[in-house]
Amino acid sequence: MKHGKILWVGVAAMLGMVTTATSASAYIVCNHEGDCWHSDQRESAPGQVFDFYPDDWYFHQQWGRGHRFHDYREGRGYWHNGVWVQL
């Protein structure tokens, strides 16, 4: 009887964790000038248009042909003509 109760408590705890867990989102963001970068969120900026791709999209591209991938930057912002613009 004691083992059955422990099992049910474990199952209930596991279900609670599964239902409250949120999936982490990561994106590759590109602007129409060919600048691309990694982001954890979907940013928007006045007058700017961004395309959002899944994080693994990076591995399926031929970089240097119209797209430039920039290193990760801390904080909120976006690339514009090769220059980081902080939001």
Burial class of residue 36 (count of CB atoms within 10 Å of its CB; 0-12, 13-18, 19+): buried
15 located within any domain: no
The number of distinct structural domains making up the chain is 1
31 located within any domain: yes
Q: Show pLDDT as tens, one digit a residue, over the chain (87 residues).
A: 565 565 455 545 555 444 444 455 789 999 999 999 999 889 899 999 999 999 888 888 877 778 888 988 888 899 998 899 998
Q: Are the C-beta atoms of 37 and 72 separated by less than 8 Å?
A: yes
Q: Give the domain range for residue 51.
A: 27-86
7 located within any domain: no
Beta bridge partners of 29: 37, 52
pTM above 0.85, yes or no: no
